[in-house]
Amino acid sequence: MEQKNTIFINNCPVCGSDKFELFLKTKDYFLTNEEFTLVRCLSCSFVFTNPRPPDEELSKYYKSSDYLSHTARKRNAKDIVYQALRAVNIRKKYKLVNRFAKGKTILDIGSGTGELLAYFKKQGWNVKGIEPDRMARNFAREKHYLEIYENDKLSTFPDKSFDIITLWHVLEHIPDLNKTIENIREKLTEDGYCIIAVPNIESTDFKHYQDKWAALDVPRHLYHFSPDTIRLLLDKHGFKIVETQPMKFDAYYVSLLSEKYLNKKFSPLNALRKGYGLNKKAKKKNNYSSMIFVAKQK
């Protein structure tokens, strides 16, 4: 890969301060091996990747084919496990959404190949998705007959169109954080809910793996939230958090990858053991690998 091009963010996206400290140096272990730096805002403690690639170059850091690898026609044992776990996950998400929803209109931002939305549609929901990856978008359209749009569609939906807007591990990838949250607020009905899942930089597994923590995932993850900083961001845009939930599965997946980054000898069993142990530790302080935040307008 040629010399990387970066831009420096001068103001904290959450509070606007221009004073940061070095938080951590890490690498893109997933794809390019390029080095990146995380800074922490001295005023609100928000951690973000800085400097980072310019918006127009971010797509270089995504491998499109990976999205579809688990959904291809030929299925091996790994795919079967993956699909079984995904089915469990979808039902859990559906249950959570249903506890809050006042109506049956949902927008999923970062809808991927569309399995979650397809499930909602089957239960009688009116579903729409936004997905930047062209292959994933087309797959969702052709296989599940879903209405999936490109990123710029978000601002053009009529105001108050959705009862629920979800972002499952998506917000940390979106360059314009503030505009996105602002748009979400406009597009939600007055008693609508926004459900956001993000990795937790204060989790026990980050503390364990540090710069090898797979959920740092630089530079694809531009932002590294904690329960406090996501609350600050949402609060700024007129939201309050009404419920916080752990995503326990994530500790296993993240451990699996982190163990791989940590050493050459890769032991899935060891990773599972780690994942279990880290979840147990996390339980004490409620600082799991990833967290789900349910928010509504104040």
Residues that bind Zn ion (CB under 5 A): 12, 14-15, 17, 41, 43-44, 46
Burial of 208 (0-12, 13-18, 19+ CB in 10 A): middle
User: Least distance from C-beta 182 to Zn ion, angstroms?
Assistant: 18
Sign of the C-alpha dihedral computed for residues 68, 73, 75 and 79 taken in this order:
positive
Tokens standing for residue 43:
């005023």
User: Least distance from C-beta 232 to Zn ion, angstroms?
Assistant: 8
First to last CA, the chain: 47
29 vs 48 by CB, closer to Zn ion: 48
Contact between 298 and 234 under an 8 Å Cβ cutoff? The reply is no
34 vs 235 by CB, closer to Zn ion: 235
Strand bridging mode 35-41 / 20-27: antiparallel
List Cβ neighbours of 205 (8 Å cut-off, separation of 6 or more).
213, 215, 251, 254, 255, 258, 278, 282, 289
41 vs 117 by CB, closer to Zn ion: 41
User: Least distance from C-beta 14 to Zn ion, angstroms?
Assistant: 5
User: Least distance from C-beta 229 to Zn ion, angstroms?
Assistant: 8
How far CA 281 is from CA of 63, 205, 216, 257, in Å, comes to 33, 9, 20, 19
User: Least distance from C-beta 61 to Zn ion, angstroms?
Assistant: 25
User: Least distance from C-beta 200 to Zn ion, angstroms?
Assistant: 18
Distance CA 25, CA 56 (A): 23
User: Least distance from C-beta 259 to Zn ion, angstroms?
Assistant: 32
43 vs 244 by CB, closer to Zn ion: 43
18 vs 142 by CB, closer to Zn ion: 18
17 vs 76 by CB, closer to Zn ion: 17
Three-state DSSP class for 169?
coil
Contact between 227 and 291 under an 8 Å Cβ cutoff? The reply is yes
18 vs 191 by CB, closer to Zn ion: 18
